[in-house]
Amino acid sequence: MGYLNVTEEVWAGRVVEPGVVRKMADRYPPVLFEEMYARVPEKLFELRGGTFLSLAKYRLNHEPIVVSLSLKNLFGMIPGPGRSRFHGEGDCRLDQSIVDINKVYRSIFDVVGMVDGVLTASIGKTAEEAIRPQTAKNRGLLLGSRDCVALDATVATLEGRDPGKIGYLKLAASLFGGWDEAALGEARRSGVRVF
């Protein structure tokens, strides 16, 4: 067990040959930014086939993200320090970049999503609130699933959002499989508004 800084590994050149990653991900359409294939650390790749936990801290966000959950969490696997290129002007590339990094990691690992709101959750609906969010405390909730799309759609629904109107969720559903509308109906009727 240890700690791995993805950015340091990439900057040091300790990455998998991009052609290997591209070949593993060829069941999906190509990524918008080819360098995503070239930014997988060797140490992570050695664990391929294993479980990759996307532990997302629940956070409401401004448009176009709306909610930052398990799929959006993998955007953090794009090495920094800046990711503005992957956002694009006015966040025009963000949905595609979020889905693309998921293509890469879903091709290498069994990705399991978790949305954490156990002790705290950040709540902010406007751009200003996203920068300085309110903190909801002691929510006592941890949701998880092997199906990150269904998980994120369910959490978005619990918060009164339509997952079909969240760009990256809609795009992810078209590639990785959608959600069960009946289950989302149950979530809507539940009246649960944890955050």
Residue 36 forms part of a structural domain: no
- Packed helices 181-190 and 148-158: angle between N→C axes, nearest 10 degrees: 30
pLDDT of residue 94: 94
Q: Pick the closest to residue 77 from 110, 38, 114, 24 (CA basis).
A: 38
Structural domain total, the chain: 1
Which residues on neighbouring strands pair with residue 142, listed in sequence order? 116
Q: pLDDT tens-digit profile of 44-86?
A: 999 999 999 999 987 777 677 777 899 999 999 998 778 899 9
Q: What is the 3-state secondary structure (H, E, C) of the chain?
A: CCCCCHHHHHHCCCECCHHHHHHHCCCCCCCCCHHHHHCCEHHHHCCCCCEEEEEEECEECCCCCCEECHHHHHHHHCCCCCCHHHHCHHHCCHHHHHHHHHHHHHHHCEEEEEEEECCEEEECCCHHHHHCCEEEECCCEEEEECCHHHHHHHHHHHCCCCHHHCHHHHHHHHHHCCCCHHHHHHHHHHCCCCC
Stretch 36-49: mean pLDDT, rounded? 96
Of 59-68, 86-95, 126-135, minimum mean pLDDT range = 126-135
Q: Kindly report the pTM of this predicted structure.
A: 0.89
Which residues constitute the domain of residue 89? Answer: 50-190
Q: Which residue has the tokens 């970049």?
A: 97
Residue 18 forms part of a structural domain: no
Residue 127 forms part of a structural domain: yes
Residue 63 forms part of a structural domain: yes
Residue 58 forms part of a structural domain: yes
Q: Rounded distance, CA 66 to CA 125, Å?
A: 7
Residue 59 forms part of a structural domain: yes
Say how many residues make up the chain.
Answer: 195
**How many other CB atoms sit within 10 Å of the CB of residue 127?**
10
Query: Does residue 1 have a pLDDT over 80?
Result: no
Q: Identify the residue with better confidence: 130 or 84.
A: 84
pLDDT of residue 39: 94
pLDDT of residue 126: 58
Of 104-113, 136-145, 165-174, minimum mean pLDDT range = 136-145
Residue 3 forms part of a structural domain: no
Residue 157 forms part of a structural domain: yes
pLDDT of residue 131: 60
Q: pLDDT tens-digit profile of 169-180?
A: 999 999 999 999
Query: Does residue 129 have a pLDDT over 80?
Result: no
